[in-house]
């Protein structure tokens, strides 16, 4: 009686048996035959690379672009795989392709520059929140719960949560939720010249206090009370020309002292 022995199928249909081909590839010198075999292996394993790429869809990158990145990772895996180490090609290729896709997201998909450590925190917080949301019905997980699950501090969770908003940027012309045509740019203020006035007053105050009392009085009457030079002259019992010279001297002294203070 003849018995048919069925071999155990691979868990993935896109994992072809290419052990002999990789062994032959390793022994071939560079040339047309080796390049043809290399291209054949890439083609055979391409469905697996695309399967890995599908895992990352919905994260702001087109699936076709993810396919291209995964294919690039596959080519690198085929070029660097060493069958003599006894490791199956799929076990080597999967982390290589996955790492290439993650690098693509890290280097090209972040609108704002975020340090690698913060990106890692973001991923751990996002994963922990997703896992916990399936076990905690009716509410989102708390910071403390995420920290305990991800083995992070609460400050690290907050940092990672803030980075969740840095992956993409909102256009200034985008309409804000719950408004009737109100864009983000409408909420931005314009430069306020009053701040410059405050800075100037703070810089000039010590110099003004150092002036003689008569000069301080003249400046006060001229610029705070709004009196003309002739009226100031009448009030102080001096000539208008004298008032003009005193004002010019005050201005020159203030400019010199403020410039010296800024230079320090």
User: Which domain CATH number covers 28?
Assistant: 1.10.1740.10
Indicate whether 125 belongs to any domain: yes
How many domains, in total, are found in the chain? 3
Given a contact cutoff of 8 angstroms between Cβ atoms, the answer to whether 34 and 25 are in contact is yes
The verdict on residue 180 lying in a domain is no
206 pLDDT tier (thresholds 50, 70, 90):
confident
Question: How confident is residue 168, by pLDDT bands cut at 50, 70 and 90?
Answer: low
Print the domain residue range for 86. 19-108
* Helical packing angle, 89-108 and 32-54, nearest 10°: 70
| DSSP tally for the chain: helices H, then strands E | 11, 0
Res. 41 pLDDT band, cuts 50 70 90: very high
Q: Is residue 37 part of a domain?
A: yes
Percent of the chain residues past pLDDT 70, beyond the cut: 86
The DSSP code for 175 is B
Maximum alpha-carbon separation in the chain: 136
197 inside domain: yes
For residues 102 and 120, membership in a common domain is answered with no
Distance CA 144, CA 164 (A): 17
Sign of the CA dihedral running 144, 148, 149, 153 = positive
One domain, residues 197 and 225: yes
Same-domain check for residues 98 and 31: yes
Model confidence over 113-122: pLDDT tens digits? 667 788 788 8
Q: Which pLDDT band, with edges at 50, 70 and 90, does 108 fall under?
A: low
- Is 63 found in the same domain as 41? yes
More confident residue, 106 or 110: 106
More confident residue, 169 or 220: 220
Stated as kind and residue range, the H or E segment containing 101 is helix 89-108
Residue 14 has what pLDDT? 67
What's the pLDDT band for 260 if we cut at 50, 70, 90? confident
Mean pLDDT over the full length of the chain: 83
What are φ and ψ of residue 142, in 5° steps? Answer: -80, 170
Residue 221 lies in a domain: yes
Q: Which helix (H) or strand (E) holds 198?
A: helix 193-209
């Amino acid at each position: 009686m003849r018995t048919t022995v069925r071999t155990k199928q691979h868990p993935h249909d896109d994992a072809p048996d290419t052990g002999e081909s990789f062994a032959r590839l390793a022994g071939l010198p560079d040339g047309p035959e080796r390049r043809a075999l290399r291209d054949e292996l890439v083609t055979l394993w391409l469905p697996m690379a695309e399967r890995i790429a599908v895992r990352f869809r919905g994260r702001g990158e087109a699936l076709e672009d993810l396919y291209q990145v995964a294919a690039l990772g596959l080519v690198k895996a085929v070029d660097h795989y060493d069958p003599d180490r006894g490791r199956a090609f799929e076990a080597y290729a999967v982390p290589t392709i996955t790492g290439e896709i993650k690098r693509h997201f890290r280097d090209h998909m972040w609108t704002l520059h975020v340090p690698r450590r913060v990106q890692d925190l973001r991923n751990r917080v996002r994963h922990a929140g997703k896992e916990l949301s399936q076990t905690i019905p009716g509410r989102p997980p708390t910071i403390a719960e995420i920290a305990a699950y991800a083995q992070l501090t609460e400050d690290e969770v907050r940092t990672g949560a803030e980075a969740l908003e840095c992956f993409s940027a909102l256009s200034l012309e985008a309409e804000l939720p719950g408004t009737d045509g109100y864009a983000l740019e409408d909420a931005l203020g314009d430069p306020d010249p009053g701040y410059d006035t405050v800075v100037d007053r703070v810089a000039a105050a010590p110099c003004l206090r150092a002036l003689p009392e008569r000069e301080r009085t003249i400046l006060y009457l001229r610029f705070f009370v709004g009196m003309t030079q002739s009226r100031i002259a009448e009030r102080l019992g001096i000539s208008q020309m004298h008032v003009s010279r005193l004002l010019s001297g005050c201005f020159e002294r203030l400019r010199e002292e403020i410039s010296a203070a800024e230079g320090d």
